[in-house]
Each structure stands twice: as C-alpha cells, then as structure tokens.
Amino acid sequence: MILDQKHARLQKLFRQFAETEFTKEILDRLDETGEFEWDIFRKMARYGFCGVKIPKEYGGAGGDYLAYALLVEEFARVSPVLSIYANTSNSLGGGPLMLAGSEEQKQTYLPPVARGEKIMVFALTEPGAGSDAGGTTTRAEEQPDGSFIINGRKTFISGAPMADWCILFAKTDPTQKGSRGISMFVLDMKLPGVSCGKPEHKMGIKGYPTCDLVLEDVHVPASALVGRKDKGFGYAMQTLDGGRLGMAAQGVGIAQGCLEEAIRYAKERKQFGKPIANFQAISFMLADMATETEAARQLVYHAAQLKDAGKDAGQACSMAKYFAAEAANHVAYKAVQIHGGYGYINEYKVERFYRDARIVPIYEGTSQVQQMVIAGTLLK
C-alpha cells in the first residue's frame, strides 16, 4: 500500500517527534525506574497525539485508523513503551466511549482525555479471567435507585496508578452464564473503595506502570453505566478489535527499529577481516527480517483501511495482530543474534527491544486467542 500525501505527512511528523523527543536519557530512565514520565506525556498531549483518533467534536484531531496505526508504529520504532503513552486514549481508554457512550458521557470524558489532561484506562482482565474474559467475576449489584455497588479485583491494568478514570467490566446479572450479563462502566478512580496494588516488576515496556485494581464496595451512580446493561462483553470485544490494530502497529514499529539497528551494526562490525554484513548467513537474516516486517506492516495498513471504510475488520485485525506480534519477536531475536554478545548487553538498543517485543503476543489477546478468532471465522 502506498500512503497518500496526508498520511505520509503524518508519518513524517510522528517520526520526527519520536526521533527528536525520545532521547536516550528519557528511554534509559524509563527502563531503570519503571516510572511514568509526565513531561514527555504532556508534550505528546500538546501536539494533539492523545486525541489523534478522537473525533473533532470531542476535542480530538479526528484522524482515522491508519493515522492512529502510523502514530503507534513510528513511536514504537524508537520506544515501544512510549508508543503506549499516546495509544490508550485513542484505543482502549477513549474507544469504549466512542463506541457506546451517551452524548453526555462523550462530552464529559473525551475532551479532557483527548487533551491529555485526564488519563482513562481499561480494566477487563482478572486473576481468574484472562483469555477467557467472559469469566469475569467482578460484581456490580444494582441498587433500587439505579446506582451500583461494585466489588472485585482486576489484574495487569496498564496505567492504573496514574489514571483518573477507568473503563471497567463487571457482572451485573449473575444468572446469565459466561460472557452474558456483563456491563461496562466508567469508573472515577478517586471514589472510596478503589485502590491500586503495587506496580508489577515487568520484563519490558518499563515506564508504563501496570498493577491490580481493587474494588471494595465502590458505589457508582447509574450514570456510570456505558451503553446497555448486560451487553458489556460485546463492547469489550469490539473495542479490542481496534486495540489489536494498535498493538499490531506496535509490533511493526519494534520490528522496524530492530531491523535498522541490525543493518547498522552488521555494516560496522568486522570479523574475519570484513564487515559481518558480508557473510551470507547475516545478510539472509536481514532479508528475512525485512520481509517479515514489511508483510506485517501491509497487514496492519490493510486492516486499518478496512476499519476506515466501515467494513467488518475483526478477522483482519486479528491476522495483523497475530502476524505482527510474532514477527516482532522473530525480528528482535535475529537482531540480538546479529549483535552477538553485545546484543545481550543493555547498552545496545536491541536488548531492550527484545524484552519489549515479548509483550506483544500476550496483551490484548494472546497469539493463541488471535488464532482462535481467525479459525472461528474460517470455520463459521
């Protein structure tokens, strides 16, 4: 696919921003401390990146899925973790409200999220309900006045420690089995009874804290319900379609970053009196890396275009996420291999890429879940 002028310009803007602003100092600090970097987040917000895909009437830039995918890809090419900073508001945070929110909810929540003044996160996973999100046990009990009391525990919630609001899924009708009877809420994180666990010590994407979210007798008003009661699971799955596209783009960015580092190193590093790039074993690895990266990119752009055209893109998003997530890991593995021992040392960028890549086939639906979705459509 050839990008049109508008998207080529956006791609250039995102690339320039990432190359200029994501300094080695910031990237090292993120990895060392694991703490959220507010300054770079605010800078992204000032450029309007937090609202790239949020409609203009709700304070965003009104961009399409392709623009959003380009943003995540270009940011991830330099820093996978910083690609998440501007991603959440456009996907799992803002997405559910764009999909099912009332006009009042959209007007209340989307503009501050698009401007980066507030952070909205997404809480679906539970200790006992990961891939099988239909196994949600967090309970929202409706009260006679239409409000709800929520009890339960969510796990691995990215951005929870910094969040102002959270899209939360809870069982409203326990008489309905499995994924039925689950509702979607927008939760104020400052409400009594809401607390966060300690941030997890992660292998990669350090600097965007992930933790448990604990809900103890949290009283939310009826206005916190988003969309129709008991229909939340469908909203979650539809939101994840778009989210998967973003994570697929993250995989492409990681693969591209690894490829560029590997090419540079292979030309510089000499063994047996010549650059290692001259050895066919190395150059063929580079050829495989470039081919896999480009194939992943085309799947992502194609899925984005389908979504922008309003077509059913569930299958295409799963294929893109599955392929790009696996590609990022194959390419990162080879990039470390081409660097030899130096690839194992954290001074070299590929060491961090390798750790960061590992999350892509896990979150927003594992590779096995994507295979289930793809096969399910084929065998329908």
Q: Which two tokens stand for residue 80?
A: 């996978």
Nearest residue (CB) to ligand FAD, 301 versus 354: 354
C-alpha span between 152 and 166 (Å, rounded): 14
Please state, in angstroms and as integers, the Cα–Cα distance from residue 63 to each residue in 16, 147, 303, 373, following that order. Answer: 18, 35, 16, 27
Half-sphere exposure of 58 (CA within 13 A, CB side): 28
Crossing angle, helix 349-357 and helix 232-268, to 10 degrees?
150
Nearest residue (CB) to ligand FAD, 71 versus 373: 373
Residue 343: what are its φ and ψ, rounded to 5°? -70, -15
Q: Which two tokens stand for residue 224?
A: 């916190």
How do the residues of the chain divide into helix, strand and coil, expressed in percent and rounded to 5?
Answer: 55, 15, 30
Nearest residue (CB) to ligand FAD, 7 versus 202: 202
Nearest residue (CB) to ligand FAD, 11 versus 239: 239
Place of tokens 């040392």: 345
**Catalytic residue of the set 126, 292, 351, 364:** 364
- Torsion sign (Cα): 103, 49, 251, 333: negative
- Torsion sign (Cα): 55, 56, 60, 63: positive
Q: How far is the CB of 361 from ligand FAD (least distance, A)?
A: 8
Strand partners, 46: none
Residue number of the CB atom closest to ligand FAD: 130
Residue 141 designated active-site? no
Nearest residue (CB) to ligand FAD, 79 versus 125: 125
Positions touching ligand FAD (CB under 6 A) are 121-125, 130-131, 156-158, 202, 210, 359, 362-364, 366, 368-369
C-alpha span between 159 and 202 (Å, rounded): 13
List the one residue out of 269, 284, 246, 247 whose CA is nearest residue 350: 269
Q: Using DSSP bridges, classify how beta strands 120-123 and 165-171 pair: parallel, antiparallel or unpaired.
A: parallel
Nearest residue (CB) to ligand FAD, 184 versus 285: 184
Q: Are 152 and 220 in contact (CB under 8 A)?
A: no
Residues annotated as catalytic are 364
